[in-house]
Structures are given as C-alpha cells and as structure tokens.
C-alpha cells in the first residue's frame, strides 16, 4: 500500500539505564515532546498505536500498556491499539498508524514506542529476548548454537546464552561467522561498524553511550560470543520515542513548513528458506523502494537495525546498498560514515544510541525526520531529503520473525 502520511512532530527521551523511571513516565515524556514539536494539543489526537515488547515480563504490565501510559497524562477516550512485535514493535505501530491516516480514517494520530528493560534481576531482562524465538524449540536452538560455536572454536560462545547475555548475541555471532566464511568479511570490518557508530553517537545527546571508540579499542574489549566483543553488541536500555502523524489536509491546516512524508512502509514476516535465498529483508526493501518509486541510489541517510555490528554489514547487502557480500568494503571505504556517500546510523545506531526494543523503530524515525528537516546539529547530513529505516525483530528458523522497512521523504 502506497502511503501518504505526514510527520507533524517527533519526541524522544534519552536512552539508557533509568532504574527509577517507570514505563508511564518514559512514554509520557516522548508523547509530550512530539505534541509540542507538532504544535498541537493532546486533545487533537484521534487514535494511538503503542509499541512495547517486554513490559509483561519485565514490569508485569500486561494487556493495557498503551492505555495506562496515555491515561497518566490525561489522554483517554481515543482508541488505543497495543502493538507487540518483538524488536519491530514500534515500527509496526508506525506502519499501522500511517496506513490508517492514508486510508482516511483519521487526520491526527500518535505512534509511540516505549520500553523498560533494566531490572534488578538481569535474568528478567535477558528472558525478554529469549521469548522472541520459538520457545517450544528452545532446547534445539540452544543446542544448535552451542554446537556451532564449539565447531568453530568459539569458546566464549559455547555457554552462557540467555543467562549472561541475550541469546540473540549468539544468533548474531553464528551469522557473523558464516558471513566471514562465505564472503571473507573480517572482524576488523565488524569493529569498524562499532567505531563508526560510536563516533556518530558521541554527538547525540540522547544516546546511551557517548564515548568515541577506535577499531583497536573495540577489538580489545571483552569477548561476548566470538567474534563479537562487547561494543559489537547493542546494550539493553530504557526509553521512549513518539511520532505524531497527520493527513495532508491537516498538515496544510497546521501550516507545517518542513513536512516529512511517509512514502512507503512494508511489514513482512520471515519464512523458511535456504541461506542464499531471498528473505524478509530483501523482500521488504524491494517492495518499499517500489512503493516509493525510489531505489537505494536515491537514499541520503539510513537508520538500520544494528543490534550487532555484523547485522549492519548484512543489512547493507539486502537493502541493496552494495553487491551481496561486499558490505565490509563500505566500512573500509568510509562510505557509511558521516561525510561518506551514504551515512548510516547517524544517531549512533542501536550499538551506541541504545536498544529499548519497543521504542527502537520509532527512534529511527525521529532521527530521520530531524535529519530531513536539517536539525541534527553536528550529525547533520548535508542536503538530506530521503531516508530509510530498517527495523527487524525476533527469529524463527532461518529468518527474522518480523521485518519493517520505511522510507521518508522531505
């Protein structure tokens, strides 16, 4: 479906460890910022979609998460749709909100993503990720990860998944080892992703980590699961991000001077396929380009789902940013660094901005909107008019569980 919704305002909390701040406060802050940015009162909202992945397990809040958050700032009556779709929860909420505006059902809607992952009991935090796979096949998955790690000599990756770390780091580590074997990608190139994103994140006041790292520092950091050192793995985090979307008629009424339009958003589930066959990432990006009437050569800035450093290089492939297997070369060339031909993850990405999973997809839209409106400060991509966001979540078999690719145009 070709979309035509306009971003009227965006808001986002700093991402990080907010042990004394609850889900309601995080969500409320993001919503208030987005409304102020749009220049509208909250009573103008006609509906809301609220993305969250793990509150039921981490905080105990189930069933009515969005209503609880919005009621805390006096927002009642309007229809609220709670969206849970793993790490793609927020982008799914945005996808649905934009579709409803495009269809003409509403003129002013809210898309909110919010998450609290830090908890005194770390097992609860890690457990939130362990539930994003087929839990009935958990024993088989863990056995396969451990055997694969042992066969490749990955001693750190042979134990501790889901207990000392998110099991997704082991899934990414296995994929990274496969990518190195098939395409010759190097651990230095993976480290280069982390170093690049740390440089970008050092200029982002809302990023969880603000320290710029060198490739050598990334490589020297503690090993998590071979070949991933700690800076190659996205941290857990707390935070919220919100977007107010409006119709064209409402945008004219509000007098929005620098409109950013959602021109396409494609949401798909993965499926069973061979490693070298097309997957959800390729399909979503191809359909998003077709809907927008654009191609990868038209992009000015990209925010993608770098839950691990290798995930960014793999995304270069299926987003069509390079020939398959050549993602590492983009890092060597500096092509995806600020000042390069296509800056990627100018926010610092998940690796440095942080990854409160239910907020991540909309946080990407916040960054892209500000880039396309020329208000990103030191991180500004000169003359940016077209941006792409890629946000995936969960894992089943050989593919992601949910994938969303969204294209914005100013």
What are the catalytic residues? 87, 355
Specify the pairing of strand 108-116 against strand 238-246: antiparallel
Residue carrying structure tokens 């992703």:
193
Alpha carbon separation from 132 to 55, 88, 126, 143, 198 (Å, rounded): 13, 11, 11, 17, 27
Residue 313 near residue 331, CB atoms below 8 Å: yes
CA atoms within 13 A on the CB side of 299: 28
Q: What is the DSSP letter of 208?
A: S
Residue carrying structure tokens 């990405």:
349
Alpha carbon separation from 386 to 8, 231, 287 (Å, rounded): 17, 29, 16
What burial class does residue 368 get, using C-beta atoms within 10 Å of its C-beta: 0-12 exposed, 13-18 middle, 19+ buried?
buried
* Alpha helix positions (H), 202-324: 215-220, 248-254, 280-292, 309-318
Peptide bond into 74 cis (omega under 30): no
Residue 81 near residue 48, CB atoms below 8 Å: yes
Residue 353 near residue 320, CB atoms below 8 Å: no
Q: Is 265 left (phi over 0), alpha (psi -120 to 50) or beta?
A: beta
- Taken in order 229, 233, 238, 241, is the CA torsion positive or negative? positive
* Nearest-angstrom CA–CA distance, 73 and 78: 13
* Nearest-angstrom CA–CA distance, 270 and 283: 10
Closest CA to 266 of 403, 111, 409: 403
Question: Would you call 53 helix, strand, or coil by DSSP?
Answer: coil
Residue carrying structure tokens 């990334």:
218
């Amino acid at each position: 479906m070709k979309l035509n919704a306009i971003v009227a305002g965006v808001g986002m909390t700093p991402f990080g460890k907010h042990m004394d701040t609850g889900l309601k406060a995080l969500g409320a802050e993001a919503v208030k910022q987005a409304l102020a940015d749009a220049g509208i009162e909250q009573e103008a909202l006609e509906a809301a979609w609220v993305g969250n992945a793990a509150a039921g397990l981490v905080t105990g809040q189930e069933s009515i998460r969005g209503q609880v958050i919005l009621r805390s700032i006096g927002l009642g009556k309007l229809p609220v749709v709670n969206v849970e779709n793993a790490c793609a929860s927020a982008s799914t909420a945005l996808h649905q909100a934009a579709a409803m505006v495009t269809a003409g059902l509403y003129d002013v809607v809210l898309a909110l993503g919010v998450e609290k992952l830090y908890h005194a009991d770390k097992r609860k935090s890690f457990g939130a990720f362990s539930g994003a796979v087929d839990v009935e096949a958990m024993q088989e998955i863990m056995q396969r990860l451990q055997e694969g790690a042992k066969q490749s000599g990955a001693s750190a990756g042979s134990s501790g998944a889901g207990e000392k770390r998110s099991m997704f780091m082991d899934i990414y580590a296995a994929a990274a080892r496969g990518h190195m074997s098939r395409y010759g990608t190097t651990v230095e190139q993976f480290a280069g992703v982390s170093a690049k994103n740390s440089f970008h994140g050092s200029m982002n006041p809302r990023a969880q980590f603000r320290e710029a790292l060198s490739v050598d520092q990334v490589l020297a950091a503690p090993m998590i699961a071979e070949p991933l050192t700690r800076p190659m793995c996205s941290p857990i985090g707390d935070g919220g991000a919100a977007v107010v979307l409006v119709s064209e008629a409402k945008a004219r009424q509000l007098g929005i001077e620098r409109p950013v339009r959602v021109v396409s958003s494609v949401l798909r589930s993965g499926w069973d396929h061979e490693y070298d066959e097309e997957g959800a990432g390729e399909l979503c990006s191809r359909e998003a380009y077709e809907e927008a009437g654009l191609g990868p050569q038209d992009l000015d800035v990209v925010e993608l789902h770098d839950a691990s450093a290798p995930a960014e290089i793999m995304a270069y492939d299926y987003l069509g940013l390079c020939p398959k297997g050549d993602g590492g070369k983009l890092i060597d060339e500096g092509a995806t660094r600020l000042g390069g031909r296509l800056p990627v993850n100018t926010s610092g990405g998940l690796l440095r901005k942080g990854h409160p999973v239910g907020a991540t997809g909309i946080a990407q839209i916040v960054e892209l909107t500000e880039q396309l409106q020329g208000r990103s400060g030191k991180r500004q991509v000169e003359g940016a008019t077209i941006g792409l966001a890629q946000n995936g979540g969960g894992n089943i078999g050989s593919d992601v569980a949910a994938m969303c690719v969204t294209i914005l145009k100013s």
